[in-house]
Structures are given as structure tokens and as C-alpha cells.
Chains A and B, each alone.
Chain A
Amino acid sequence: DSGVTQTPKHLITATGQRVTLRCSPRSGDLSVYWYQQSLDQGLQFLIQYYNGEERAKGNILERFSAQQFPDLHSELNLSSLELGDSALYFCASSPPSRGNTEAFFGQGTRLTVV
């Protein structure tokens, strides 16, 4: 158990809908990362938050947004869902450092858009 909790584990929804994925980082970790894993694109970095502020942005679509709350949990919002958004979405967290520490991954949320 990495200490990172993601909910829900599975989500099935229809095209055009909006969903929210939730992540609770490890105690003491300030950074939260979101990744999308699909068969054709591999593991894609979406966005990173550090202590409530956006720190880095990757290949995140405009239909997607994220935020990190004062209690450091994070939510990833996916809207106007398309079939191609079906993927495994991972959250990871890491303690405050300057790059020399690893990220700890949750078990992921499997999103299926039908």
C-alpha cells in the first residue's frame, strides 16, 4: 500500500458526461501528479500541483481540469467525455523536495466511456 488513495476504482459513464476523480496523497506529501495511461499513448503526464498551486502542466486537454484543496487532496475533472478518454487515471504524490524523490502511486481509477 503506497498510502495514496484514489476513488472510485472503476467508473463507467456515457459520452458527453462529466466525472470527478479524487485523490488523497500520502500524509506529508505536498505534490500531487495526475497521469493518464492508455494502450496507445502509454503513461502521459497530465498535471502537477504543489501545495495547492499548479506547478506543471503536461498533455492535459482543455476539457480536463484539476485542483488541489487546502487539505491537499486533489480532484481531476473530466468533462464532455469522449470514447477516447477511456483509460486508467493515476494519481501520485511526493514529499517536498527538489526532484530527488520518487512519486508514490495510487491504484488508479479505470474510466470507461460508453
Chain B
Amino acid sequence: AQSVTQLGSHVSVSEGALVLLRCNYSSSVPPYLFWYVQYPNQGLQLLLKYTSAATLVKGINGFEAEFKKSETSFHLTKPSAHMRDAAEYFCAVSENRDDKIIFGKGTRLHILP
């Protein structure tokens, strides 16, 4: 069964610094991978998704993620953090044999002024 592990339940970075949120997945077949963001008191919204077309995926708000099969990773990055990026970020995986989407436990990103 597929699963996702997000390293670090809380990450703090200074405004303008690099954001790196880590995600490792487990899947017995080629996975589809997603990053979602949840702002306070809101539902989850999609940041980006990997569906095997390209290993480097660009998303909204300047975020991108790179699929590395050898490392079973799908880390999320942004070159320069903004205060508005403070939110909770979820990595998720699904497989092409069903539509079930499994989420990691989430990483709360704090932006320091």
C-alpha cells in the first residue's frame, strides 16, 4: 500500500530564505504525487502534482518539487519565502490502479520576519 512520510512537523525559515519541505513516498507501482497547502480555517488546495510527464514540477506561488525515483522523494522548494507562505503543507500519493489519495501528516511552515 502506498504511504507518505513528511520529515519535520514544523519548519521555520526567515523571510527571503530558501524553503525546503521534505517528502518521501512508498509505492509498489509508479506513483502520482501531490503537494497541497492549507491556510488557516480553509480546506486544502493543490500546489502542484507529478504525473510522470517531467521530474521537475512547477506549481503555484513559486513552489516547485522534484521527483527522484532513486531516493523515493518529492521534496517541495521555493527559492525565497514570503510571509504569506505560512501555512500547513501536505504531501500526498496515489497510484494508477485506484483513485485513493493518501496524505502525509503535514508540515507547518513558519516564516520569521
Residues on A facing B (Cβ under 8 Å):
2, 4, 31, 33, 35, 42-43, 45, 48, 50, 55-56, 58, 90, 92, 94, 97-108
Residues on B facing A (Cβ under 8 Å):
32, 34, 36, 42-46, 49, 51-52, 90, 94-106
Contacts of B99 in A (CB 8 A): 31, 48, 50, 55-56, 94, 97-99, 101
Q: A43-B103, A45-B103 are in contact. Are A90 and B96 (CB under 8 A)?
A: no
Q: How far apart are the CA atoms of A61 and B87 in the complex, in Å?
A: 29
Check if B94 sits within 8 Å of A99, measured CB to CB: yes
Check if B42 sits within 8 Å of A45, measured CB to CB: no
Check if A35 sits within 8 Å of B49, measured CB to CB: no
Closest to B100 in A: A56
Chain B proximity of A25: nearest CB distance (Å): 12
